[in-house]
Amino acid sequence: MPTTGSRSGPAPPLPPPPRAVLWDLDGTLIDSRDQHWRSWRDTLAADGITVTEAQFAATFGQRNDAILTAWLGRAASHELIARIGDEKERRFRVLVEREGAVLLPGVVEWVTRLGDAGWLQAIASSAPRRNVEVEHAALGLEGRFIALVSAEDVHAGKPDPEVFLVAAARLGVPVGRCIVVEDAAPGIEAARRAGMRSIGVGPGAGTAADVAVASLEDLAPEAFERLVGTS
């Protein structure tokens, strides 16, 4: 006698775990070098302090407390460092709001392509939160970045991995499914310490990245897919 009731078929396959791209901001998404340089130069000049462009270039991408300690010496007070750093960032935001942001080649295409393909995206920067918010608005890519992580969200700057670990946690993506895009060697090292694959853009990223290109425009169409496939 046949049995009654329905026979269930095989269970549907589980969806793949989410994957994410964690973007550095200055020098990776936006060419803000000149605006940062002018902000530092003019802020320090107002205090009678001279800094060369070579000194600036050697510290670009680091946290302000580390930059100013290197320039002013360890005897500089916390109050002085905070005052100069805050004024420099105020000047920088004014420049961005007045002049806009210069997006680096390939940024719009890759951020759009990845978002359309279902990748979650976040900005993970060592910059102050207000800077990140102003620059994010200037990008004109609203809705593409689910999380913004800034200096206030972490205790240590790159090469400490905390900024990327926080970004991954906010997106709910395992570290092995995250890819970092960076233009500086400390950021590439932070990605390595976080257990994440990395793409280095430009000469400042060094040679330690899993993939190194002069520009995002040089990335192979399957670059991100290949990297997450090796995680």
Nearest-angstrom CA–CA distance, 25 and 193: 19
What tokens does 148 get?
A: 């913004």
Asked if the model's pLDDT at residue 50 lies above 90, the reply is: yes
118 and 157 both lie in a single domain: yes
Among the listed residues 170, 141, 133, the one whose alpha carbon sits nearest the alpha carbon of residue 154:
170
- CATH code, 144: 3.40.50.1000
pLDDT-derived band at 66 (thresholds 50, 70, 90) equals confident
Tell me which of 74 and 12 has the higher pLDDT: 74
What tokens does 19 get?
A: 């994957």
136 and 156 both lie in a single domain: yes
Nearest-angstrom CA–CA distance, 61 and 64: 9
Asked if the model's pLDDT at residue 13 lies above 80, the reply is: no
CA atoms within 13 A on the CB side of 91: 19
- CATH code, 49: 1.10.150
CA-based radius of gyration for the chain: 21
Q: What is the pLDDT of residues 129-138, one digit of tens each?
A: 999 999 999 9
Q: In this structure, is residue 4 part of a structural domain? A: no
129 and 46 both lie in a single domain: no
Q: Which domain holds residue 212?
A: 20-30+102-229
Q: φ and ψ at 47, to 5 degrees?
A: -100, 10
Cβ(197)–Cβ(190) under 8 Å? no
pLDDT of 98 reads: 97
120 and 208 both lie in a single domain: yes
Cβ(81)–Cβ(64) under 8 Å? yes
48 and 160 both lie in a single domain: no
Asked if the model's pLDDT at residue 230 lies above 80, the reply is: no
Instruction: Report the mean per-residue pLDDT for the chain.
Output: 92
